[in-house]
Amino acid sequence: MTTYRQPGVVVTDHHFPVPLDHDRPDGELIEVYAREVTAAGLGDAERERLPWLLYLEGGPGFGARRFIGRQAWLDRALREFRVLLLDQRGTGRSTPANRQTLPLRGDAAAQADHLVHFRADSIVRDCELIRRRLTGGAPWTVLGQSFGGFCAVHYLSTAPEGLERVLVTGGLPSLDATADEVYEAAFPRIRRKNEAHFARYPRDAERVRAVAAHLLEREVVLPGGGLLTVEAFQSLGILLGSGDGTHQLHHLLEGAFVPTPTGPELADAFLEQVQAHLSYAGHPLYALLHEAIYAQGRGPTDWAAERVRADFPEFDAAGALASGAPVLLTGETVHPWHFTTDPALRPLRETAGLLARRDDWTPLYDPERLAANRVPVAAAVYHDDMYVDTAHSLETARAIRGLRTWVTDEFEHDGVRAGGPRVLDRLLALSRDEL
């Protein structure tokens, strides 16, 4: 283990060998990495007495947030916990799964079979193995953001004995909705976020139309080799789900074009920023497994977002330009064309197709066990969250015995980051019946 200091904290690196397939514990091992963070100034005995809080990041496919010192909710957590920031399997400094490493597994079929072991069920079994090593068997508190909340609900379904309490921010999943049903609920929310953005920044509607028209007329290659198609440009709407995303999008759009001797062109600075927002190089598992997180043993996901989008013709850019309607941006959706436009995903196109056609996904949640839950659970549900349907979340909240909700429109999906210590403070109080 390596230990070092940052402002106000002591950080210790942990590396845990875990089975690739937990049903074959004597088989291949992979590594899961985590950072332990404690407040500076504690003695060894005092630190050892602190209870553990495990943080599960959103995604899928993102490593745990790299805090510097006591940023955001971490400051509140360190007042009473030792915090473990987990890089879920395949992410961050854990054994990677990407276009460079997956070919070591063999052909596309072998890669798809390998990635079956990277959903919430395997992540939670990693957590249980790590918990027993770190806590001596004592249960711990879990804080799950977005997809981390999905993992936490699976945790409640399968290993509640490992949990002291569960705190969920923007991540109560439907217990039974199909991927199609998730996206049927999502596209109307995405439309509302577009309408709110254009109401705040009216000139952006024309800027979006201008960029879309430009992209329909010519091929644009991003600095890293990606293709900026009109559909890829529309996917910048994912920014509209975060607290400051509407402002980020506005600043991006207002610098879209520069004058040149041959007429207006998309600015190099604009294209560089677009690439940073759209590239999956740092989180390919998000694209590969995003629809699989909704797979509940009811057949293949079969590119649900792409199919459902066809039922919402207002998102067709060419049609909108022809009719004079606003060109709407999309949101947290993954499509087959992502595996053509993005260089980080192109080599994985066949693998992604096999995952989309897979029909043997196992259910992730146990409604009967959740109905009998005895673990204190508190969840922040963000009103009209663009990423996770509010109605689905509240239905799940009613299905988990004893769960207390805080429904708020003060934050978007990233409230646990944007709200500093307030969100965690309120959820802890709710879980302890202090409110």
Checking if the pLDDT of 401 tops 90, the result is yes
Among residues 23, 26, 44, 360, the one annotated as catalytic is 360
Beta pairing partners, 36 = 12, 84
Catalytic (active site) residue 15: no
Q: Does 435 have pLDDT greater than 90?
A: no
Query: Is the N-terminal amide bond of 60 cis, ω within 30° of 0?
Result: yes
Q: Residue with structure tokens 């473990």?
A: 84
pLDDT of residue 331: 86
Q: In this structure, are residues 144 and 293 in contact, taking their beta carbons and an 8 Å threshold?
A: no
Q: Tell me the residue type at 161.
A: E
* Catalytic residue from among 122, 154, 413, 414: 413
420 band by pLDDT with thresholds 50, 70 and 90: confident
Active-site residue, selected from the candidate residues 146, 157, 242, 431: 146
The DSSP line for 160-204 is: GGGEEEEEEES----SS--HHHHHHHHHHHHHHHHHHHHHHSTHH
Q: Let me know if 431 is a catalytic residue.
A: no
Give the start-to-end residue ranges of the domains of the chain: 3-176+365-431, 179-357
**CATH code 3.40.50.1820 for 3-176+365-431:** yes
Report DSSP letters for 322-371, one per residue.
HHTPPPPP--S---TTHHHH-TTTGGGHHHHHHHHH---PPP---HHHHH
Mean pLDDT of 380-402: 97
Give the mean pLDDT of 17-37.
98
288 close to 342: Cβ distance less than 8 angstroms: no
pLDDT at 28: 98
Count of Cβ atoms closer than 10 Å to residue 418 Cβ:
16
Share of the chain above pLDDT 70, in %: 100
Average pLDDT for residues 368-396, to the nearest whole number? 97
Counts of helices then strands in the chain (DSSP H, E): 19, 11
This prediction has a pTM of 0.97
Q: Catalytic annotation on 244?
A: no
